[in-house]
Amino acid sequence: MSSSCSSRLELQLVGHFRHIRPALAAIAAVLFAGLTAAANAQEAAKPAEAPKGDTVRAEVGKPIQAARDLIQAKKFRDALAKVHEAEAVPNLTAYEKFAIDLTRGSAAQGAGDNDTAMSSFESVVASGRLPPADQLKVIGAIAELRHQAKEYAKAIQWASRYEKEGGSDPSVHQTLIQAYYLAGEYGNAARLLKEQIEAEEKADRAPTEEKLQFLASCYLKMNDNAGYTSALEKLVAHYPKKSYWADLISRVQRKPGFAERLELDVLRLQLATGNLSKPNEYMEMAQLALQAGFPVEAKKILEQGYASSVLGKGADADRHNRLRDLANKQAAQDAAAIAQGESEAATAKDGDALLAIGYNYVINGKAERGLALMEQGLKHGPLKHPEDGKLHLALAYAQTGQRAKAAQLLQTVRGNDGVADLARLWLLQTNRGAAAS
How many Cβ atoms from other residues are within 10 Å of residue 51's Cβ? 10
Report residue 152 CA to chain centroid gap.
Answer: 22
- Which residues lie below 8 Å from residue 167, measured CB to CB, with a gap of 6+? 136, 139, 140
Please give the model's pTM, rounded to 2 decimal places: 0.80
- The answer to whether 115 and 149 are in contact (CB under 8 A) is yes
Phi, psi of 247 (to 5 degrees): -65, -45
Q: pLDDT digit of tens for each residue in the chain (437 aa)?
A: 444 444 444 434 433 433 333 434 445 445 555 545 544 544 443 333 334 457 889 999 999 999 999 999 999 999 999 999 999 999 999 999 999 999 999 899 899 998 999 999 999 999 999 889 889 999 998 999 999 999 999 999 999 999 999 999 999 999 999 999 999 999 999 999 999 999 999 999 999 999 999 999 999 999 999 999 999 999 999 999 999 999 999 999 999 999 999 999 999 999 999 999 999 999 999 999 999 999 999 999 999 999 999 999 999 999 999 999 999 999 999 877 887 878 777 777 888 989 999 999 999 999 999 999 999 999 987 899 999 999 999 999 999 999 999 999 999 999 999 999 999 999 999 987 544 43
The amino acid at 1:
M
Q: List, by residue range, all CATH 1.25.40 domains of the chain.
A: 19-148
CA distance 361 to 185: 55
Overall CATH class of domain 19-148: mainly alpha
HSE, CB side, 13 Å, CA atoms: give it for residue 264: 17
